[in-house]
Each structure stands twice: as C-alpha cells, then as structure tokens.
Structure 1
Amino acid sequence: MQFKPLNRVNGLPLSLFLILCLIFALFSLYLEDQEQRRLAAKASIVAQQVANTIEVFSADRQRALTDLMTTWPEYHPNPTDWFNAHAVTMQHVLPGFDDIVWADAHQQVQWNIKSTDRGSRLYRPLSDFGLVLTGGQKTDFTNALVQAPNGQYFAIVGRAINPYDTRYGFVAASFDLQSTLSAMVGELIGSDFSLILSDGEHQLMANGMLNGHEPVIAQSIQFVGRPWLLKLQGNRGGFEIGRIVMAIGVLMSLVISIFLRRQLRSAFKLNQSQQRYKAASESSLDAILVLQALTQQQQILDFKLVESNQVAQKMFAPGIEQLKLKLLSEQLQAFNHPQLLALCIQVCQSGKAHEQYLETNSPLISAQWIKIQVVKAGNGIAITVRDITARRLSQQALKESEEKFRRLVDGLNGHFVYSHDLTGRISYVSNSVQDVLGYRPEYFKLNYRHCVKRTPDNAEQIRRQLLAGERPDPYVVEYFSQDGGIRHIEYRDSPVFDDNSKLIAVEGIGRDVTADLALQQQVYYQANHDQLTGLYNRYAFDRLLKERLGLVRQQASVSTLCYIDMDQFKLVNDSCGHQAGDELLRQVANLLGTSLKSGDILARVGGDEFCLVYADLSVGQVLDKLSDMLNAIRSFRFVWEDKVFHIGASIGVAEINMQTTNSEALIKAADHACYSAKNLGRNRYHVFDASDQQLNYQQSELEWVNEIQKALLEDRFELFYQTIEPLNQVASGRHYEILLRMLSVKGEYLNPGVFIPVAERYGLMNKLDEWVFNSTITALEQHPVHLEALDKCAINLSGMTLGNDEFLDKIVLRLRHSCVPPEKICFEITETAAVTNLAAASRFIDVLRELGCRFALDDFGAGMSSFTYLKNMAVDYVKIDGSFVRNMCRDRSDYATVKAIHEIASSMGKLTVAEFVSDQETRLALTKLGVSFAQGFALGKPAPLQHLLKEQKVVIRHLSAV
C-alpha cells in the first residue's frame, strides 16, 4: 500500500510530461502547417498582384497602340512626323515602350522613335526583328518573343493600322522585358520570394532558387497576348517556428512535471487532520490562515501559524515551508508589511474585524494585489487573503486604456474624432482638431457652424440617411481655419444605437484632405494639359470636343472648329534649336488665347499644331476673328538672340452642327481644310467644303505618291543629263548635271515639275536620291572610256537626304569600292535645304569632301540665306538661280544681282555657274562678267544619259577601225 502513493507521485508527472510533449509536438506541426499555408497564401496574393500589374501594363500599352492606329490620319502631308510626334507623346505618357515602329504596306520600317537604333532599323522588314504581320481584316495584335545577342529578351507586338486596308502600313512596339519586369516585379517581391517567370521554354526572369520544402504557386499571365507562367515561392528565412515551439514545449513540460512531482510529495505528507481541515476550508476561494497568539503577562507579543488551506499554499511561493515555522512578525517582515502586526494584535484584543487592500512587493506571494480580512478566532486570529490581482489589473488596464485612447485620439495627425447628437450639436471633439483647423475644442464645439465655408451639395440626403440609421458615404466640408486659410475636411459618420437599437448619437472621424485634393487637381491638370504651353493636350481636347458635339446635338446649336498649323516653325527649330522652338510655341499659345471667351477650347494637338473651338458661333461669325488672328500672327516677330523670324499660320475651318457625325470626321475635315490653306499660299484660313478642288488635288497628289512608289519597285526611272559649258575656265573634259525622269506604265515621260514636288512633300526624295546616285555610279563604272573623259558629273541631293546619316554611310562605302574617282563627282544641294539643315549639311559636305567629292550650292539667291552662310559653307561651286539669269540682259536689277553674286563668290574662292542660259546674248554677257560656267537650253537641252554613252561607244569603235 505504500507503493501506490509513490507510483502516483512518479507516474502522474511522467504521464503529464509525455502528454504535454505530445501536445506541443502536435502544436508545432500545426504551426508548421500554418506557416506553409501562410507562405502559400502570401505567395498567391503576390503572384496575383504581379499578374495584375503585368496584365494592366500590357492592356494599357496595347490600348494606347490601338488608339494611335485608330487616330491615324488618312491624308497627312507627312505621316512620319505625325507618327513620331504621337508615338513620342505616347511613350512619355505611358512609360515602358522600348521602341515604337511604323512600317509601310510592305512591312518595311519607315520610322522608329528610338533614335539610337534608327540607323539599323530603317527600311528593313519587320520579319528581321522577329515579327511577321498579316493584313486580312486581322484586328488582334500579333506578338513575338525575341532574344537579343546579349541574352536580353524583348516582347514585340504589332498590327496593321487599318486591318481592312494595309496601305497605311503597320505599327509595332517592343518592350525591354528585363527593365520592365525589374521595375514592376521587383517592387512587389523584394527578397521575401523566389520566382521563375517563363515564356514557354524561355526563362524571362528569376529571383532566388525554388526548393522542394515550401509550396510553389503557379500563376498564368497574359502579356501582349503571350502566355507566361509565374512560379512563386515564399522565403521564411532561417526562423522555423515549429522547432522552436517544440523545444520550448519540452522544456516547459519538464519544468511542470518536476513542479507537479514536488507538489504531490508535499500533498501525500499531510496528516489526516490537515486533510479534514482542508476538506472544510477548500470550499472557500480565499486563502485562510489560522494563527495562535503568543502572550506574556497577558500581553500579546506575536502570533504563530497553526493552519492554512490549499488556496493559501497556491498563493504563496514554494519556499514558504520554512517561513511557516517562523512567527508572524518574521513572516510579515519577509512580505514587506511589518506594520500589519500591530493591526492583528489590535483585532485580537478588541475583537473588531479589519479589512484592507494591499499591493504585494514580495516574490513569496504570487498575487500582486490582495484583500485581507483579520478576525478574532479563539485565542488567536484568522486571516483571510483573497487574490484580487485580476480585478485590480482589469480596473487599472481599463483606466490605462481610456487614457491611452484619449492620448491616441488627441494625438491623431491630420484627423480628429467627434460625436454629435441627432440635432447636429457636437458633444465631443478631440484635441487634435486644434492641429487641423487651429480652433480649441471648446470653441469649435460651440461655434463650428460659423467656421463652415461650404457644406456638401447632398447635405440634406446625408442628414436623412443618419436619421434612418444608415451610414452615409464620406463627404467633404470646407472650413475657414483659424489662420484664415481654407481646409477641406472629409467626414465618415457612423450611427450609434442603444441596447434597444434606438439611434442616440452619431460619431466618426474627420480627416484633413486639403493636400490630397490639391494633389488630385495637380495630377488631373498634368494629365489634361500640355506641359510646354499649359493648353489642353490632344487627349483632353478629344474628350472636350466630343462633349461639345453632344451639346450641339442636344441644344440644336452650332460651333466652329479651327485647325491651326504654324508655318516656318521647322526653320526656327532647325536653325536655333529646340529651346527656341519651345519658346516660340509658348508665345504663339499666348497669342492664340488672347481673344477666347468662356466655353471656347484651345489645345495643342501636335508639334506645331493647335485646335481651337469657338463655342456657339457659326463659321460666318468667326471669320472676322480668324482674320484678326492672322493679322496678329503676321505682325508677330519672334526674336531669338540676334535673329528675327516672321511666322505665319494656315487655318482649316469646319463647322460643328447637327449633321456632324463624330469628332474624328470633324478633325479630319478641319485638317483637310488646313491642308488646302497651305496649298493656296499659307498664312490664310480655308473653310472645309466636301467638293473642294484642293481636296481633289490632294487626292491626286496621293495618286502621284502611289505612282512614284510603283515606279521605284518597277524601275521606271531614267537618267538624263544637261551639259555645263565652261565660259572662263579651261575645258578639261565633259561637265554635266544628272537629271531624273519618270516613265509611265505606257513608257511616256512624266513631267518632273509634278512628281518631284510631290516626292519632296511626302518624304520620298531620299529614295529617289539613292536611286539616282547608285544608277549614276553604275553607269559610269560600266563605261570606263567615258569616265576617263569626264571632268565633273553633278548629282542633286534633297534636304531630306542631307539629314540621313545612313545614306551618307552608303555613299562613302560605294565610292570607296568603286572605280569612279570621287573627285569626278559633284553633289548639288539647294540653298534652302542647306540653310534649313545647316548642321547636317555641314557634316555631309565635310565627310564627302575628305573623299575628294565636290559640292555646288544650287539656286543661290532664291532662298533666304545671307552671304554669311556662303562664307562658312565649304562648297566649290555657286549656281546662280535662273530667275536672275533668264532676264539679266533686259533687267538691270537682275544683271546687278548676277554680278554681285559672282563677285562675292569669286572673292571667297568659289566658281560660279549660271543657270537658265536661254540665248547667246546672255552667254556673252556672262562671259564678260567672268562667270565660270553656264547651263541652259542655249548650250544644251536635257537628253538621256544612255544616248551620250552609246554615242561615245560608236565614236570609239570608229576610231579603232580607222
């Protein structure tokens, strides 16, 4: 029987230890499972965020490309400039495009906005860059994934501009996936995740390594139509909660088991009398201590502990056994309350009970706060001790919570808490209202109505919702602050109900949103206004024009749209730089906006293009305004450094009325009218008319463009020559100028005075220049005898070619590998083209002159340059414009002009060539003046170059036979 208690003493702690270890093991497994679930959930959320970010980025860029192609002009004088302006603007508004490319109907790249790659991309098919596009009414984008030689991946998308008509070409865009994904994905994942982002078998991005111990989230992503797969895994670091909990659990189980075994040993040593006393006292929730008085000469000196219940043993520390044997005075001394001894003696003597609350400061008792009752018990006392720590701490926590809440409320930055009754009278407002509005809480509670500047428009609706017990949407009230400023406060009201669900008050939080609203207004302004001029931008104008069109239909009224294109802007930009061009645009914007009224719309829709809507005015009512505007523009002088520029404007006018179908057709009509104004002489306005001959002329020009492009493909061009005769120079061989003729399908020569200007306006001259150069060099290479007798062969270059570095490289390469000596080639550039592209022309001339080529400045005197340009331009010949030469023998001013040009050019060491010499009288006059060379019908008419080459062959054969 003695072994049973001992087995229980050892067995119960051991069983408890094993059970606790099992519980902690299960708990650690549960924590590990929860940790993996947490990592999986976190990875799933981040994967979805990454997918959403990438797909929103993709959708925005595809939508922007679609908008670009939707607004593509059908008849634009220079689609390259239009495309470049709109594509660059789109790239600025929506960052992330690596490059945007426009290709013609044959998918040959015509332009791209990334200038660093332009030389390697122009005139190459899109298939060279990995993108094969088809027409055939395909409205979806075609995509491709391309890997650069350095391993970097690019996503390319493209589509026909008009899926139903591929004449307008194709638009494609590329995305640098490394930089794009780093910017979008890097901010979301950081170092907390490992990932692999792949496109099929191509790994686009990786971060860290995926391991087999943690869950992996697979997320599919659509990027510009390409399916991607994202594998994401959360990283927990080196902290494993399961193992830590298990180790702590085992340690705690061991401590608890040892403590339990000690308590059991003490319990089994109690005698039977203590057990009977314990059975009687265990029903009490308090610790009961019975003490016997120790007296001497009937004087109570101290007390000795006789009995105590189990509650008392739990309340006091395990080391209390040794203290039990000591007197009450020693015990109280250990508990740091020696003053209680006198109180106990007084109770024992008087028999009057005493009750007191004490805070314990001794490690010998587990309670922090106790309630003691001392009563007389026989010849001693009984002390009842109750643990009130929980109640005391609860009261203290409640008090601290209230104080903390008040401090928190009063310390809110930019917020304040309020409460008001059903009549709207404020019953409470936190001190932070003073930080927000500057008013003391007491003042604001009494005078808040006087501080209001403006209430929301739906104030009555908000009041009804609150009285109905509903929570209204957040609303904003404007206040006058203490310092005289204006503050916007956003309120979030919440109804307060009593236990019977009766509405008794309203409380909520007021937030200062002044800065937020100001930021929203700033963002809205930047999104809808041109940063350079402050006018509306193209996107805002499209929206406002549609709204105006809706008002016209709704009110059965009229308005007028004016499409304004500035003349001579490119001259300012090219000759003085973009900073001067920007300043000119700002001044023009101010000039255009001087006479506007409320409701009118002025926007900058392109590089030098503006749109103006006169609200509620017909075309007839705005013509006087347009005349005043044109007079103001004519009178305007733009001054930049030491240069003064005259500018002009061409204005297309279209009426907005009930018959207007849509805004796109309206802008197109105004653009056509603007084009007609340019053709009619510029610096004027033209009202749109569907039967306008100018529009028919423009259509005819487009037909010429198509004919020129077909002629290039079918090689329907022929080289002509016109002799340049020496007057005051020793003839050292043939000297002639190469001219270009185009053949029709029937083999007839077409007028160069028609197709050459069209080619210049529509950007085809660089292709014609390249054809002329290559054909001329080939012809000379095939006729070495003619080449030997040749002194100079003059080839014309257009202004567009002067700025084409790629063509310059082709010329240099061809001449270096040709048998044609470069000193026999003379390139002719017009005065206007040279001055307009001065920097490009100078570089072009310097590079080719180093090879030995010569240069002639054509049509000198007909443009706008001064002799200062002539002095600084490295040309060998100056060709006097034929308009002065033709009538020089009959017009003294023309004669004086020819003489002045020759003398000044000669003084600069340059030879002169007179054009349009139509009779012998003019030839003799030029010879007398000392002009070096002459060219014209009197000296030789243009003839096919092949005839000259064949004639020379016949002469050579004849001489050989003789």
Structure 2
Amino acid sequence: MWFKAPGKVNALPLILFLVLSLLFALVSLYLESQERQRMASKARVVAHQVSNSIEVFSADRLRALEDLMITWPENYPNVTDWFNARAQTTRHILPGFDDILWLNQHLSIQWSSKHQRSGAPIQKALSELADPLSDPPAKTFISHLHQAGPDSYFALILRPVNPYDLHYGYIVASFDIKATLAVMIGELVGSDFNFQLYDGDQVLMVNGELNSSETVINQPVAFAGRQWQLKLQSNRGSLHIGYVVLAIGLMMSLIISIFVQRQLRSAFKLNQSQQRYKAASEASLDAILVFNAERKKGKICDFILGEANHMAQRIFVTEDKQLQSPRLSEQLMALRASTLLRICIRVYHSGRAHEQYLASGSRLVRAQWLKIQVVKAGDGIAVTVRDITARRLSEQALKDSEEKFRRLVEGLNGHFIYSHDPGGKVNFVSHSVRDILGYSAEYFRHNYQHCVKRGPDNDAQIRQQLAAGKRPEPYVVDYFTAKGEVRQIEYRDSPVFDAQGKLIAVEGIGRDVTADLALQQQVYYQANHDQLTGLYNRYAFDRKLNQVLEQIKQHKASATLCYIDMDQFKLVNDSCGHQAGDELLRQVASLLAGGIGEDDILARVGGDEFCLVFASLSVEQVKPRLAEMLQAIRGFRFTWGDKLFHIGASIGVVEIRADMANSVELIKAADHACYSAKNSGRNRYHVFDASDQQLNYQKNELEWVNAIQKALQHNSFVLFCQPITPFNQVAQGRHYEILVRMQNARGEMLNPGIFIPIAERYGLMNKIDEWVFTNTIDFLEQNPQHLDALGKCAINLSGMTLGNEEFLDKIVSRLRYANIPPEKICFEITETAAVTNLGSASRFIDTLRDMGCRFALDDFGAGMSSFTYLKNMAVDYVKIDGSFVRNMCRDRSDYATVKAIHEIASSMGKLTIAEFVSDQECCQALTALGVDYGQGFALGKPVPLASVVESARSLPSPVYG
C-alpha cells in the first residue's frame, strides 16, 4: 500500500500540522477583532447608564432644595430651627448631600445642617462664590467646584431664597464628589471597566488606567449645573482569548499529527494479525461472522459481511439466495430476527458485549436454539453463533415443569397457601410465608401458635361454620414476625370434605393486610388532622364543635370558643420563606397545646388561625387562662438563621350556650371578635358583643365581598377599553388596554377604585382576572373582523394571579385552542407585584412569551431599584408611571425622570408607554423625547368594549410629532 513508504508516513502528519496551525492562527485573529468590538459596545452602554443615573440623582436633589426655598416661612419666630429641621429631613430622605447651609445676605453662615452651628469649614469656598453674586441675583443655582485637598473635591450650588428680596439670604448645598461618585459609578461600573471623570481640567475620579490600544468612550455628564466628561473603557484584563485559542490550537495540531503518525505505523502490523485471526476462526467450533460498519450521513445504519468461517455454513443454509446478501439487516430479516440490528449498533457504540439465546423459527437455520454473542471488532462487529438445541430442549422441559408448580403455589405476592386439619394443625404452607412473616415454611408449620399475637374474636363461630360446610367471612389474625414486628394476616377458609361428607381439612389463602389496615388508619388520621401541626383540621373541628354544642344543649351547661389569629406570621413567611413559616406554626401549636386540658379541643382552621374550645368553662373562667396564653406568646421568640422575631396573637372569644344555633354561627361570632381584637391593637382578646360597631363595619365590608362574588356568579362585570396611541411608532391596528367595571342592581357602573381593594384584601382578584381574561378572549373570537383590525390587546394581571400555577395552565390551554394569534395579546403586571413575586413572575412571563404573548410592566418608576429588576425581567413594554408624566411639562425633575426611564428602557430593547397623558403640551413633549406610545384622557377615554364593534367609528388614534 502507498503508506508503507516511511517518507510518506512522516510527510502526511507534517502537512496536517502546518494546515491546522494556519487555521487556528486565522481563528485567533478573528476572535481578537470581535472581542474588541464587543468590549467597546459594552462600555458605550454602561457610560450612557452612568450619565442617566447621575443626571436623575442631580435633578432629585435640586428639586428638593427648590421645594425647601418655596416653602420658606416669612414670619416664623425661629427660622433657624425651621431650617435645621427641614435640612436634616432632606438629607435623611435624599442621601448624597454633604451639607446644607443657610447664609445671610452678606454670605455669612447662619446655620450648617452638618456641623449644627453657624460656622463651617467651607468658608473659603463661599468667598470664591462672591464674584458671581456681584451681578443681579440669579434665579437659578450657581455651581462651583471646590478643591478641599489633593484628592478631595466638593461641588457647591448656591441660590437666593428669594431672588427679589435678598433679605432672606441664600441656600448653599455641598456634595462630597468622591463619596457620591464612589457609590453611584462604582455600583454601575465595578472592576470590569477603567474610567476617568473630569470637571474641565480637574480629574474628579480615576479607576484603573486607560489603554491606548483599546476603544475609549467619551460621555458628557451633567451634575448640579456642571458639565463633566466621562472617559470609559472596558477592562479586558491580561487574558486574550485569541492568543489562548492560538496556543491551544498549536498544541492540538501537534497532538493530532503525532496521533496520525502512530496510527499509520500501526497499519504495518495489521496484515499479520489478520492472518492469525483467520486461522483461529476456521478452527473454532462456533460460527464466526465479522461485519464492517456501513454509514449514511455519518451515522451507523447497517453492517456489511466481511468474513465468515466454515462453521457458519453448517449452521446456516448459506446456499439459499435470501442469505447471500452481504448486509446484516437483510440477513436478519430473512432469519426473522430484525431486532438484533439495533442491538448490534448499540454494541458498536458502547463497546459492551451482548449475549442472548435465540429460538429460531426460520427454515434457513438448521438449529432450533442458538446462543449468540456480539462484540465490537475494530470498525465493525464480530458475531459468534453456537448450536445449543439439545441442551436447551432439556432445560426447557425441566423449567416448564417447575414453573407450573411455582406459579400455582408461590406466584401470589403478599399471599400464601395453607392447609390444616379440623383440629387446627397445619399440614402445608407455601414458602411465600417467609416473604410475609420471615419464618420458613417448616418452622411456621410446627410453631405457628407461638407466633400468634391475637386471634379472631369469633373463633368459635368460625369453627362452627366450617363444620357445617359453610365458608366463613374473612377474618384477621395478628402475628409476630421473625423481626419482632406485628403483621395482620387475613384468612379466607374453604372446608374440604371426604366422600362421606366428613370435614377432613381446611384450605385457603392468607393475605398480608397490614399495609391496607395501616392505610385506612392513616387516611382516617389525615382526614381529621392537620398534616403540619398534628392538630385537628377544620373538618374535624366542626364535627367536634357540633358534638360539644349538642352536649351543652342536653345538659344545659356552657363552654367557651376562642378564635386565635397569629400576628406577624406573614412577616416571617415573606422574609424567611414557607419553610420558616411552617416551623413557626409547629412551635406555636406546641405552645398553645401546652396550656390546655385533656377535654379541651385545639385545631388549626386556616393558614395562621387556630380554634380552641375550653370545655365546661365560662368566659369569666377562661379570661385568666387567656391572659396567661397571651403572656406566653408575647414572651415567645422565634429564631430562623440569624433572624429573631417577636410574635403576637389576636383572640376572639365567644361563650357556647344552649341557645346557640350551630357551629357555623359560633365560629363566625368568634371570627368577628378576633377582627375587633386586631383593630384594637393586636395581642389581646376580645369577647364577642353583637352590638360592636367594628363588627358592623366588617359586616358592611363582607357585604361588598358578597356583592363581588355575586357579580362573578351572575356575570355583572362589564369590559371597558382605553386606547394606547403611537407617538414614535407606526400604527399597526388598534391598540388598547382592557379595563373592568362592576354593574350594581340599579345598572350603575362602579369604579374599580371601590371594589378592587376589597377584592385584593379578601383574595378575589384571581377570580376577577380569570373573568376578564375569559370574556376578553370570548369577545375577540366572536368578532373576527375586529380581531383582524386589532394590533394589541392589553389585559391586567394582579400579583395574586402571578403565583397561581393553575390559572397559568388555564391561560396556556385557552390560547392554544383559541383562534387568536398570541402575539396580539399583551399582559400587564405592576412593578410592585413583579418585584414581590419575582420568581413566580419570571416563570409566568417565560411560559406565555414562549407562546408568542407580550408583556408590559405597569406603573414603572416607583424607585431606582426598578432598573435593576428591569434588566432581569423579559417584558416588551415599560409603562411610565403617570405620577411623573402628569406634571412633566411643569416639573423639571419629573421631566428628567421620564427621560431617564425611556432612555434606559430603550437601551434594553423595550418600548415605552406614558400613562396619564392629559393635554396636548404633554403629547408634544413625549413625542420629542422619543417615547413610543401614550395613554390618557387627552388621547381617548375608557369606553365599553362592545361599543368599539357596535359603533361605526373606530377608536381615536391621533399621532403626534
């Protein structure tokens, strides 16, 4: 062969090494280029975020100072105290101020909020501000950069309290630039970037060194009237991926070349090994067949016969045309053993040998039984076939005989067969008794009476029935097992008579019913007890309470019912998780159970709610016990990890008298009293009084709950919609948000502000969300022309719904079979609900977005932490909270906030929607900022959804800008 020449054997690996080395060099150059572009893009985004954060920070502080000067008292008797209180409050609410000072009209310090006196160490800096004040008093802030040390800079801003009357003096605020920027820039940039921040020629802050070979991003930054310049550069570190790839590639090229060279050398020795193998194969008593692998598209699909010894011709009818095909698949098909092909492929891939016995039903095989072994052999497999017909037939005959008897006697799992004489002496028991009781059949046959713990109570009756030729009902006997355990065996006896009708034996089946009886007891226990605390559950407590009430009615006695609601349980559950909440409930249950008698009844009837019945005690007798119970609860401390919690309890008390109607009224009265205890300050008890005004208020609130439930039942809710108008997006069909109104008995539409808070408080929001979703989908399906013209339909979801996996399954199922494109459905969730339920919200969003639905984050902008959560939330739209939009044209801070939210959301690839757009001026400002959509009374008021189809005119859709 050509590779036998030593020169060519060495030349091929060398050429391969040079080609691979060149390839890896090109890859390393490409990776270096891509890495530089990625680092520059990353630095550009971070620089933009830093600029927005500093501008929002500055706008908030300037607005706070303007508010302080607007509310400046003119006739206050002690202006210094007033200024000190307001300045301290401002510094506490808005961190970042180094000091806030009040100067008189001669620039003398009247008061410093930092040093609590009229003197302050920035007197020199104030003197430098005198020149700008020589002109007419400024109506805006004057800024100044003051260097207090080699690396210490302060930004000062100054403005007269009243620009038209300098008698009131000036307000000065100072910012420690190094401390402020270390928090803001360090938090956003971290150690992944090098940067320099300049104020003119002054270097304010430096992190690392800028590398001249990498891209530097220059970003202007506005802070308190000063213009700064940020130079930012991504920090790649010392690791260059391109060079690493090149080094690894060269090493891999060398290893591959060495491997190829060794493989070529091994080929010289292959021919001699093949000759030895052929001689051994021909001498074997087994049929040996060697197959080479056949591939299609890189995968093993079949095997081609390479070699076969003479023994294969004795076992197989090789002269038949069906076996003359070289492919293994066709040969196996002729032999009716096609399943072996998959096994052969598995052996080839895994390398593990396979052995099996095969009954041959083909005329192409001279043997009835074959033993087949398959092993991997190079780039193929070797199959060894042996004729085992004689041995197999002999073994099979013996096995069939044994198997028939074993199935009859031992095949029942958890059962054994027995036979005893009329006197009870056991003559036979199957060996399966060992699996049940642990005794051998021989031992149990002679010593079964010593193993019995308790026999049947009706033993005499069973004997009489057997003697009379009747089969008794199944009965249970308790046994001690060999391990000392107790098992219950159920017997089913059948009498056996001779030809004269005399009872000669009793035969039957014994069945282990230990697990069944234990399961019955467990089911009964679980049906009546709380699994977490072990106390009675609500079902069992209702039954026990009715029994107590019946006894009181019969004996004219009395007892006392207490409804206990734990305070601060939700705090533990939310801050430490459900596992901590469960442990708290277990400890509280033990605490409550320690102070009651044997006849008293304690139950857990809700999440953190317990009911306690003091048997045969009046309210006056119970009061001292309740005082002790509350004292014990107040003294109880719950620890979880490094957290310590104080808890309390509110207890409603009602006396159980003979004139009480039923248990439902009792629990309801105790619940009312517990509600009053909570409203009275918690951690106390309250005795039920039907004339209590607080109970009447709660009753009125419960009537609202009843009205909401009736509205859900009778379909009394009405769908409204409000248009969402594009500002800087091309209109693609109607876009509106679904709203809901409740219709009362007089046909009046009730505003959501009335019934939504009550629905949230009493856990009905998920049902209202389900109603809105279902009816919206039904409406769209019933109006296909309107659906065709629809661009996006937004449906609100509450925080309770985000954690409801069952409702998520309903949404997925409904959308899957609805004739509505999922991309036309957008779900709105509030920022607060999303952050509170971040894990559930992310799972909810990911599931529906995979189907094609869109998501909007509603009421966005409550806090700067929102931007952190926004990065981790897969939403498509960000709805800017209306509190910022409403006054943005009159309030520079609101304007800056709207601008920052839009720019940051846009940088993350999300569209923005401004809420509460109330006038044309606001529309034009939002359009100029680049906000994508708007919603508010200036663009369209809410209207019934049905009117959109009934009316000939479409929803108003003005476009501004």
Pairwise same-fold verdict (TM > 0.5): no
| TM-score (normalised: structure 1) | 0.37
Give the TM-score of the pair, scaled to structure 2: 0.37
